[in-house]
Structure 1
Amino acid sequence: MQLDLTARTADAVARLKESPHTLDGFLKLSQIFESTTLDPHSRETVVLTVAARNQCHLCVDMHETKFAELGPAPSPERLDAVRSFTLQVLASSGAVSDAELDAFLSHGYTRQNALEVVLGIGTYTVSTLANRLVRAA
């Protein structure tokens, strides 16, 4: 399975090289997203939420593997909060209600984290849509 996933990932990168700017932009954004104050499990939850929503099966497979390699996760409630918040940001084009933002914050996240979720959504929207466009997903 890992070899297959590695080959699929290499194929996706090769396909994205048709647009060096797109590939470079995604890689830079991804690096920035990885440096945010969101904990690794929360970052992967954002990625998985976007990937599943955009039906990028390659991204789902890659990031489920990455999530599993992180080890013990925070409480399921905390990860559900970031998953729900990510979907609310997507559904409302960022105009979440005060109650939705407060619900996210009540699980130990910060306003900075809320903006970092937006960064993750943008980053992985590029990846998932590009992968689907080049038939890598």
Structure 2
Amino acid sequence: MPAPAFPDHTLESAPGAARRSMEAVVNKQGHLPAAVGRLATSPQLLDGFLKISAIFESTTLDPLSREVLIMTIATRNDCHVCVAMHSATLTALGADADLIAALRTEQPLPTERPEAVRQFTLAVIATAGAVDDAALQDFLAHGYTPQNALEVVLGIGAYTMSTLANRMTGAPVDPQLAEFAPAPM
């Protein structure tokens, strides 16, 4: 039987160029997520995603706003691994269960500020960045800044990369995240 196109690499089986990135993930999370093992098939993609997501984490967007953006991309792109992972992150942040449920089902959020970032993210995607003045002004009216608007673009780039790669590789949800996995369709 031929090997799968995207094997579940371990630190020992991964291409040498991916091992440092994989070790960093293991050190941070305490285990090697299956998605990381599969993304290691391309050390450049894995390294690029980890770097760009770390840069996104250092933006001036608050943690809840970043997670709303990530979940908006994850649900839009139907990435079950990302939905599980970021539902867990939102839960750890103390996000309201109604907010998490609305994000998971692509519904309007129960509070205005997170909904503003969700709507702005969708507008940036729908217009390939050419948002109209009304969309930008609505985003800014909720306490966001022009810098935040550009940081939304950064987040969209990072998590579009992740969601598309995870879908292509068929990455499974890790057992540690099983309780947050979306229901099968």
TM-score by length of 2: 0.67
Residue in structure 2 matched with residue 69 of structure 1 by the alignment: 92
Cα deviation 1:38-66 (Å, max 9, x = unaligned):
00000000000001000001101100110
Does 2:111 align with 1:88?
no
Does 2:46 align with 1:23?
yes
Equivalent of 1:59, from 66, 76, 82?
A: 82
Report the CA distance between 1:72 and its aligned residue.
Answer: 5.2
Matches within 5 A, 1:88-107: 88-107=123-142
Larger radius of gyration: 2
Compare the two structures and name the one with the higher helix fraction.
Answer: 1
- Write the letter of the residue equivalent to 1:44: E
Alignment gaps of 5+ in structure 1:
1-5
Residue in structure 1 matched with residue 60 of structure 2 by the alignment: 37
Alignment gaps of 5+ in structure 2:
1-28, 97-109, 173-185
CA distance in 2, matches of 1:37, 1:11: 30
Residue in structure 1 matched with residue 72 of structure 2 by the alignment: 49
Runs of 4+ in 1 over 2 A off after TM superposition: none
With CA pairs under 8 Å and 6+ residues apart, which has the higher RCO, 1 or 2? Answer: 1
Report the CA distance between 1:71 and its aligned residue.
Answer: 2.1
Residue in structure 2 matched with residue 3 of structure 1 by the alignment: none
CA distance in 1, matches of 2:61, 2:39: 27
Report the CA distance between 1:132 and its aligned residue.
Answer: 0.5
TM-score by length of 1: 0.90
CA distance in 1, matches of 2:120, 2:146: 12
- Write the letter of the residue equivalent to 2:132: S
SS at match of 2:72: helix
Percentage of matched positions with identical amino acids: 61
- Write the letter of the residue equivalent to 2:40: K
CA distance in 2, matches of 1:10, 1:91: 31
CA distance in 2, matches of 1:13, 1:48: 19
